[in-house]
Amino acid sequence: MTPRAGLDTDAVVATAAGLADAHGLDAVSLTRLARELGVRPPSLYAHVAGLPDLRARLAARGAAELADALRSAAAGRARGDALHAVAAAYRRYALAHPGTYQALQRAPDLEGGQAGAALVDVVLAVLRGYGLRGHRAIHGARAVRAALHGFVLLETREGFGLPLTVEESYRRLVAILDRGLSAA
Amino acid sequence: MTPRAGLDTDAVVATAAGLADAHGLDAVSLTRLARELGVRPPSLYAHVAGLPDLRARLAARGAAELADALRSAAAGRARGDALHAVAAAYRRYALAHPGTYQALQRAPDLEGGQAGAALVDVVLAVLRGYGLRGHRAIHGARAVRAALHGFVLLETREGFGLPLTVEESYRRLVAILDRGLSAA
DNA sequence: TCGATCCTCCTATAGTGATTAGGTTTTGTC
DNA sequence: GACAAAACCTAATCACTATAGGAGGATCGA
């Protein structure tokens, strides 16, 4: 008689991602998510282990998607070309999926998991184009991640109060990184 | 008879800051804060307007402290010297007050308030030493803030899985910024 | 010193969200 | 069709935010 929603973990996480991107990560409560899915809150426990687990899955999903986007952007390019493409893809993803990106932030060690490592690998691959290996590559990767992450965060959170094109600021930041990596 | 805690808004916010720095921002609940202060949760409403207000005050307090620290670091220095000093002070503050720094992040528009503007001003002052004014200074300030913010965030949140000195990575990041700003 | 008043803190209470326990019905398989 | 697994539900608990309204200590003028 009852239609049954026919959920599984992926569907739950996907809906949560939509909710997060549309209304912010804080809007993702089990109660609201359940309502969205036409189900009672306790039913969600059949698919996720609880709110922390849901958030972790959201982050893992986002890291995987982001890594994919970066990989695609880097494909077939090198050096500054690759760096600009990867940077653009990074920002594009974060702006298109603000809630998911937010979830990515709050993932403490989980970022250090599978998908997180994939993210680092893409950056390292780009740096190899600059001739950077070993220690130097790692320092470079940290710098690149920090810069992109920080910029996107400031943009999405605080919004850069001043009326000056954000695109241009980003382009210049990436140019600075390019110059710095070339010199290193 | 009753000893009375003798609280005021500053004391409440200060204790909240201690709690946040010691156990993370999420540990700062009115219930726990009240327990910490030897008081019942409703009593806190005499000093702060609620949890959002408390968080906002935490952020404002942090922004003011951070701006002070940066101003001190910049005093009497110029260019790369000033940049390195400010960057070091920035990271030092964030590491010493992780919970407060976390609160700073979550403050949406409040960062754009008094204390937030002071923060930007310090960076702009440093950039003036590089001969940057107007648009170029703003782009530069965004780059610097993004890089420092992003680095500190990655360090405190995810911890840079790899076993390679974080200090050295930071130093190199700042060096990249220095080079980039000099060229701009 | 006496008292009016303010302010701090309290109890009581409501409401929301996460989570667990334990049962019931649908779905898939033989 | 019957059995087993799994999806969902109701009921209940607990932690936390928040409001309402009251009691008592502190302060200041007389």
Chain B touched by A103 (CB under 8 Å):
no
CB–CB of A142 and B151 under 8 A? yes
User: What is d(CA B7, CA B25) in angstroms, rounded to the nearest whole number?
Assistant: 21
Residue in chain B closest to A182 (alpha carbons) equals B176
Q: What is the pLDDT of residues B119-157, one digit of tens each?
A: 889 999 999 999 999 999 999 999 999 999 999 999 988
A132 in helix, strand or coil?
A: coil
Please give the CATH superfamily to which domain B55-183 belongs: Tetracycline Repressor, domain 2 (1.10.357.10)
For chain A, what percentages of helix, strand and coil (3-state, to nearest 5) are there?
Answer: 80, 0, 20
Chain B touched by A133 (CB under 8 Å):
no
Residue in chain B closest to A179 (alpha carbons) equals B180
CA-nearest of A10, A96, A23 to A58 is: A10
pLDDT at A7: 81
CATH code of B9-51, in short, is 1.10.10.60
Residue ranges of domains in chain B: 9-51, 55-183
- State the average pLDDT for chain A: 91
**How many CB atoms lie under 10 A from the CB of residue A31?**
10
pLDDT at B45: 96
Residue type at A32 in one-letter notation: R
Residue type at B86 in one-letter notation: V
CB–CB of A145 and B150 under 8 A? yes
User: What is d(CA B5, CA B44) in angstroms, rounded to the nearest whole number?
Assistant: 11
pLDDT at A157: 80
Residues A24-31 have a mean pLDDT of 96
CA-nearest of B102, B23, B22 to B61 is: B102
Question: Cα-flanking dihedrals φ and ψ of residue B166, to 5°?
Answer: -75, -35
Tell me the percentage of chain A whose pLDDT exceeds 90: 80
**Rounded alpha-carbon distances, angstroms, from residue B71 to A4, A59, B66, B78:** 61, 36, 9, 12
Quote the pTM value.
Answer: 0.91
Residues 6+ apart with CB under 8 A from B66: B90, B93, B94, B101, B104, B119
Q: What is the pLDDT of residues A92-142, one digit of tens each?
A: 999 999 999 999 988 766 555 677 788 889 999 999 999 999 999 999 999
**How many CB atoms lie under 10 A from the CB of residue A150?**
24
Q: What is the pLDDT of residues B48-92, one digit of tens each?
A: 999 999 999 999 999 999 999 999 999 999 999 999 999 999 999
